[in-house]
Structure 1
Amino acid sequence: METANFFDNISTSFVITSIIDILIIWYVFYLILTVIKGTKAVQLIKGIFFIIIGRAISNFLDLTTTTQLFDMVLQWGFLAVIVIFQPELRRALEQLGRGSLFRSGAAGDASEHEKMRQDMVTAVRYMAKRRIGALIVLEKETGLKDYIETGVPLNAEITSQLLINIFIPNTPLHDGAMIIQGDKIATAGSYLPLSESNKIAKDLGTRHRAAVGISEVTDAFTIIVSEETGNVSVTYDSKLSKEITLEKLEELLQKHWMVTAGSKEGGGLFARK
């Protein structure tokens, strides 16, 4: 009887407003998850979830001191997030003022991403044919800031001409790694950790050993063009794939090159600079 009365008291307007309320919240969360995918914010959110879970467990086990510690971390953590993401938050407010915070532009992004992949393949084809050595690292979820800081900052648009020019022999930036963040060339001439694995063939040079080294400590995807043979190789998940075709390279780029809206200027709350 009470259940019947409960449903009788629910008006149509209440149901409609509740559905609209849920859809708005769902859409906001969807946008946030979309723009932070592949950025450093992902690791931050994972850390927050671990803290929340740890707080719940300590509270369940009645660990008073530990619970208070987690509460303190959560309280001060909010201020830390504001400080860490201050540039992103400021840019998000500017975008909100321009009405561009929730702009999708997915179709345009898809064509731009395809163009960047084609520029990458074109540059690799050119360098492989002329045996121009190259080492290109594509950042994924694990940040590469420590290695970016060892090179020359560029923050440049990705074009085949620029990719080729940077690796022309006897130029200042050709000897080192290029690191790409999203849709930007972040740096060139960066130093990478060399792998000490005995599985790497002795005839492979420093570029291949550096590419394997970065794949051992991060989830980055790396392209290598051999200066001696012109062969194209890639590394990811601590694995080296040698002498791949350009068709295979394009297929791997579609899988591993995480060009998201969050990495583009005006792409959302956590957009990179």
Structure 2
Amino acid sequence: MTKVPRSVPLALVTGGLHRVGAAIAARLVREGYALALHRRSAAETDAILADALAETGAVSRHFQADLADPAEVDALIPEVVATFGRAPDLLVNNAALFAEGEWPDLSASALAAMMQVNLSAPVMLATALVAASASAALAGAQNKRARPAIVNIVDQRVLHPVPDQVAYSLSKAALWQATATLAVAFGNRARVNAVAPGLTMATDDYSAAQVERLADRMPLGALPTPTQIADAVVYLARAEAVTGQTIFVDGGAHLAPMGRDFVALEKD
């Protein structure tokens, strides 16, 4: 068992070793959290997180689980509790499955796979966390007045759907709605909020010039950074009077329909 003082908050970040997940985890480390870092498979940790862990000496442990497998999802929270001797104070549902495809390409199996990773897994992790926290409080192993915070990473397109990546868009819209539903269902047992990023870390599908033009197109004239998304997560983790809310960290992209996904816009 890995003992961490009760005064040190514990966060479970799914998909926490790479990209935006690593930036969120790195920020949490610098805010004094110990980390339970979920990964799907063995891989190197992104530099932003590795540097933060090295500089702070924070306690972190890796937990491997395929969120496409309901049995592995069910085992994740109990494994974290067994490792640290207590339930996490914060769950960041960051891991996601992404796939291209418009409606003619949609199949029931592809939609089910997307919903399992992007909706079912976050919801089941949230319910398992609340149950574990309640059990620990009853047993005196956790502060009876403490309640966990849950932050779901969704997508700015939930306000203005686009025809691209239909299965992905449906799954993120469902998780967005689940955020408010769970906030009501859990009541004072847990706070549930969401962060909705816009285009943040462009893949090789974008050219540098395209990304610059997209940034100019945003109401704020800029795209968000991973650090800014992490800022929103940290705020929601600590905002004791906030539940059922979504913070859009997208340069203002959600304020007007774009018509298509970013990758289809402002092409060279």
The alignment's TM-score, normalised by the length of structure 2, stands at 0.23
User: Of Structure 1 and Structure 2, which has the larger fraction of its residues in helix?
Assistant: 1
For CA contacts below 8 A with separation 6 or more, give which structure has more relative contact order. 1
Point out the structure with max Rg over C-alpha.
1
